[in-house]
Homo-oligomer: A and B are copies of this chain.
Amino acid sequence: MKKQTRRKFLATTAAVTAGAAVFGLPTMQTKNKKQLVHHVFFWLKNPNSKEDLNKLLEGLRTLEKIETIRKLHIGVPASTEKRPVVDNSYSASELMFFDDLEGQAVYQDHPIHKKFIENCSHLWEKVIVYDAMEV
């Protein structure tokens, strides 16, 4: 990230983050800090291939080493009741918590994340990402 872009980004982060930011201190790890959730759903090209699913799950597990991830949940569709509103067509999901927008940006640019995409992106045909900031 260029210096000027980064400065602007940090300013934005400070502006949109509630709670700890009010005090102007780097209290990034406080329990009450509003967290950012990053949830990604993957649809495999070969949804019936156990091998491809395992490769993807293995790749997802490498992400846990990225230092800005506060919690990582790797999942597959749960066998909850089938209802019209429930989408259980995906193959695997990755759910992460970050302290803030910057933590998520660090993750996006992280070499481990880039390596994961390089190694695994041939496996999936569709990805949907939801980023939600706690309110």
Q: How many copies does the complex hold?
A: 2
Given A37-B73, A57-B135, A73-B37: A129 and B79 interface contact (C-beta under 8 Å): no
Name the contact of A78 in the complex, choosing from B79, B128, B131 (C-beta under 8 A).
Answer: B131
Q: Are A134 and B81 in contact (CB under 8 A)?
A: no
Dominant secondary structure at the A interface? strand
Q: Are A128 and B85 in contact (CB under 8 A)?
A: yes
Interface size bracket, A side: 35 or more
Report A93-131 CB contacts with B as 1/0, cut-off 8 Å.
101010001001100100000000000000000011111
Interface residues, chain A, CB within 8 Å of chain B?
Answer: 12, 16, 35-39, 41, 57, 73-81, 83, 85-88, 90, 92-93, 95, 97, 101, 104-105, 108, 127-135
